[in-house]
Amino acid sequence: MTVNLLDFDLEGLAAFCEQLGEKRFRATQLFRWIHHKGASDFAQMTDLARSLREKLPAAARITGLPVLSRQDSADGTIKWLFDVGDGNAVETVFIPEDDRGTLCVSSQAGCAVGCRFCSTGHQGFSRNLTTGEILAQLWQAEFFLRQHLNRPGERVITNVVMMGMGEPLQNIHALIPALKVMLDDHAYGLSRRRVTVSTSGVVPMIDRLAQECPVALAVSLHAPNDPLRDDLVPLNRKYPIAELLDACLRYLPAAPRDFITFEYCMLDGVNDTPEHARELLKLLREHGGRGVPCKINLIPFNPFPDSGLRCSPRAVVQRFGQILNEGGIVTTIRKTRGDDIDAACGQLAGDVLDRTDAARRLAQRRAVEQPIRFVTPHPERQA
């Protein structure tokens, strides 16, 4: 059985080369072929020491994930559905903007946290992705996009957000080496502030991330008090808000930015009143005495079948944001991208076993939704 070299950070690859009886430094060359040039064939690596090149095919391979589908949104967003075996699939989304290209990467097939407003959470948990499966999403997307967008040799993906399917901090073992490859100059060379881990609040793992690989941190808060958060994000029963905010304060000295981003999904009649906004403001400005340095990102809820929830009206989202901004916390409203291909936050389901049914449901929804969209275009699109 060969090992997949996408599973290694540079340190791991060096140890692997040593096992093959090669000098550790040869790993750097190999690593660059893989992550700078997108090579998957050892024969291509002409400047690699011959001894190593000859040993590699018997011991190793460089393989990505089978692509089950690719969908291109009218706004340039691209979504891939990757097969990870045993009837599971994960989704990866590329979001182009004027000055950057962001890849939204999955960390698990399904998710065990089970947030009420999240399609992945409703699907349940299948398994953790390996480091190689996390990195394959980046590796495949980057080298596909360079060709597709006709930008050879240029970096297309400038930012990575771990905001796809799954709770990255419940898979920290595979996550850390993957983050290291994203940051490594011999690989993708992204700065720490351009790599964001988003978490629903796995407190001990926030500390571990600070120690092992601090990158930008986004925390999915969604509620200003424990009873409401217990209901929306069940993990809150284990790590309540005060403990989570303490972990944020401990994270900040190691963080590449001097603030934490709090994500707040706007749910009609659930967590979106002016009182909720004022409670949130007080919580974040006063926690621990001096408050938590932060920004808030309001995410209009993206509906999915059977969620039983609705998005707050645009005016309610704006009013909520206004209260926070006036109270001194910089608050933005996330623009929805790629919703015509169900690529928006929380819409990622990717369960192959359920595909036929999902495709049917999707077709039904489209049939209902499209005419409405002609009459009242999606408010986010107009922004």
Which residues have a catalytic role annotated? 91, 345
Asked if residue 220 binds ligand SAH (CB under 6 A), the reply is yes
Residue 383: CB minimum distance to ligand SAH, A: 16
Between 101 and 121, name the residue whose CB sits nearer to ligand SAH.
121
In terms of Cα–Cα distance, which of 198, 312, 207, 309 is closest to 261? 198
Asked if residue 166 binds ligand SF4 (CB under 6 A), the reply is yes
Between 49 and 112, name the residue whose CB sits nearer to ligand SF4.
112
Between 78 and 111, name the residue whose CB sits nearer to ligand SF4.
111
Residue 279: CB minimum distance to ligand SF4, A: 21
Between 120 and 331, name the residue whose CB sits nearer to ligand SF4.
120
Between 62 and 135, name the residue whose CB sits nearer to ligand SAH.
135
x/- map, 114-133, ligand SF4, by CB under 6 A: xx--x-xx------------
Residue from 299, 324, 333, 341 that binds ligand SAH (CB under 6 A)? 299
Phi, psi for 216 (deg, rounded to 5): -60, 140
Positions of E strands within the chain: 3-4, 60-61, 67-72, 78-85, 88-97, 100-104, 108-110, 125-128, 159-162, 195-199, 216-220, 260-266, 294-300, 331-333
Region near ligand SF4 per CB under 6 A, out of 68-76, 84-92, 106-114, 286-294: 106-114
Tokens representing 357?
């049914």
Quick one: what does residue 56 bind among ligand SAH, ligand SF4, none, with the CB cut-off 5 to 8 Å set by partner type?
none
Ranges of H-type helices in 79-237: 119-123, 131-148, 172-183, 203-212, 226-232
Q: Which amino acid is at 291?
A: G
- In whole angstroms, what is the distance from residue 204 CA to residue 20 CA? 37
- In whole angstroms, what is the distance from residue 234 CA to residue 202 CA? 11
Asked if residue 200 binds ligand SF4 (CB under 6 A), the reply is yes
Residue 185: CB minimum distance to ligand SAH, A: 27
CA distances from 343 to 75, 170, 225, 378 (A): 11, 23, 30, 15
Quick one: what does residue 206 bind among ligand SF4, ligand SAH, none, with the CB cut-off 5 to 8 Å set by partner type?
none
**Residue of this chain nearest to ligand SF4 (CB atom):** 121
> Do 174 and 128 touch, CB atoms closer than 8 A?
yes
Residue 105: CB minimum distance to ligand SAH, A: 10
In terms of Cα–Cα distance, which of 108, 113, 107, 110 is closest to 237? 113
Asked if residue 265 binds ligand SAH (CB under 6 A), the reply is yes
Asked if residue 102 binds ligand SAH (CB under 6 A), the reply is no
Count, residues near ligand SAH per rule CB under 6 A: 15
Between 130 and 200, name the residue whose CB sits nearer to ligand SAH.
200
Strand bridging mode 216-220 / 195-199: parallel
Asked if residue 117 binds ligand SAH (CB under 6 A), the reply is yes
H helix or E strand, kind and range, residue 53: helix 50-59
- In whole angstroms, what is the distance from residue 266 CA to residue 41 CA? 47
Residue 250: CB minimum distance to ligand SAH, A: 18
Give the angle subtended at the CA of 373 by the CAs of 369 and 378, to the nearest 5°.
115
DSSP state of 217: E
Asked if residue 346 binds ligand SAH (CB under 6 A), the reply is yes
Quick one: what does residue 114 bind among ligand SAH, ligand SF4, none, with the CB cut-off 5 to 8 Å set by partner type?
ligand SF4
Residue ranges binding ligand SF4 (CB under 6 A) = 111, 113-115, 118, 120-121, 166-167, 200, 220
